Amino acid sequence: MYKLGQILRKQYSDFIPAQYSAKNIAVNSSSVDRCIMSALAFSAGMFPPTGEQVWTQEILWQPIPVHYLPRDLDTTLVMKKPCPKYDAMFKDVENSPVLKALERKYKPLLQHLSKHTGMEIKTVRQVESLYIILHIQRYHNLTLPSWLNDSMMADMKMLAARTLAYYSETEYMKRIKGGSFLKHVLRSMESILNGQEEAQVNLYSAHDITLVHVLRGLHLVDDTVKPDYGAYLIFELYTDGEVKFKYSNAWDSQPDPGMVLCRTPCKVKQLEHMLKSMIPVDYDQECRLQLASNSSTSLSIWTGYVICIVTTIIICNFSQNMY
């Protein structure tokens, strides 16, 4: 994350102020320790002290404040504020025929993993958790177990991606999860354009599933995206109201040119219209169980326990003549 901060600092060197100022920069995080630590590391890379901000010659670092909400109040990053209607729909997804069929299809793999790990692996959820462990080993160039091959790892990655996607399987689930963050983004953009908000850069440190929720809320991805370490999403806001969008699936990868919000220049008002069905009006009201219709209709996704891979979501306010 420190390196990603340096990379984006260089990329936006003509825009980001030379010196950090709380007036211009806002850093927010999920309340999970790993996310806070990554926000701090990213900020250290993006905002090295210069001039009078240099307070020691021993380390090129300055403290940058990171803000977060308690887990049970957060609807935008860790997204764990209670939502009974969502929870009820989630249980239907967990027990959906498609999920059960998927687990039957990959039963030989689950049995193979159980045999060699000593763990009882019967669900896609458990495969996702194991995949993260093995992926970390491979990421650090450690030798993988002899009972594992590339084909198995590919299958496990696919199941892990589906695990993340099923948390936003229905349009309602996309609205409650990804839509809550998108609502926050749109409000921030409107405030900036109206002169009510001064921050030039809003930084958010969150989770792999946060990115999946947002991307699926934007209807930009299906159920095959598995964000890697340091994956990031950037909204660029220009003074004429145009919004540009970038997504990279890892800190050291180039943004995906195929992910675009609009085929023509996209304005904030246009984006608000496009996303109207995805934006919750009143989170608490829409989460009440008595508002739920029959949620046991055809659900077609998978279940999983999410392990946090810290990601970065960045909103930048640009002058249109930057380029």
Q: What's the pLDDT score for residue 62? A: 96
Q: What's the pLDDT score for residue 26? A: 94
Asked if 66 contacts 43 with a C-beta cutoff of 8 angstroms, the reply is yes
Classify 247 as helix, strand or coil. Answer: strand
Break the chain into its structural domains and give their ranges.
68-91+168-322
User: Is the pLDDT at 252 greater than 60, yes or no?
Assistant: yes
Sign of CA dihedral 142, 306, 218, 232: negative
Tokens coding 183: 């609502």
Q: What is the DSSP letter of 219?
A: T
User: Is the pLDDT at 202 greater than 90, yes or no?
Assistant: yes
User: Is the pLDDT at 307 greater than 50, yes or no?
Assistant: no
User: Is the pLDDT at 56 greater than 80, yes or no?
Assistant: yes
Q: Which candidate, 268, 229, 236, 300, places its Cα nearest to that of 41?
A: 229
> Span 54-67, mean pLDDT?
94
- For residue 21, give every residue at least 6 positions away whose Cβ sits within 8 Å of its Cβ, in sequence order, or none: none
> Amino acid identity of 117?
T
> Span 6-22, mean pLDDT?
93
> Amino acid identity of 131?
Y
Tokens coding 57: 């010659």
pLDDT bracket for residue 313 (50, 70, 90): low
Q: How confident is the model over 216-230, as pLDDT tens digits?
A: 999 999 888 999 999
Please report how many Cα atoms fall inside a 13 Å half-sphere around the Cα of residue 152, on the Cβ side: 18
Q: Is 304 exposed, middle or buried (0-12, 13-18, 19+ CB in 10 A)?
A: buried
Q: Report d(CA 169, CA 95) in Å as an integer.
A: 13
pLDDT bracket for residue 298 (50, 70, 90): very low
User: Is the pLDDT at 16 greater than 70, yes or no?
Assistant: yes
User: With the CA atoms of 10, 68, 86 and 187 taken in that order, what torsion angle do they form, in degrees rounded to the nearest 10?
Assistant: -60
Mean pLDDT value across the chain: 88
User: Is the pLDDT at 240 greater than 80, yes or no?
Assistant: yes
Phi-psi region of 6 (alpha: psi -120 to 50; beta: other; left: phi over 0): alpha
Q: Is 123 exposed, middle or buried (0-12, 13-18, 19+ CB in 10 A)?
A: buried
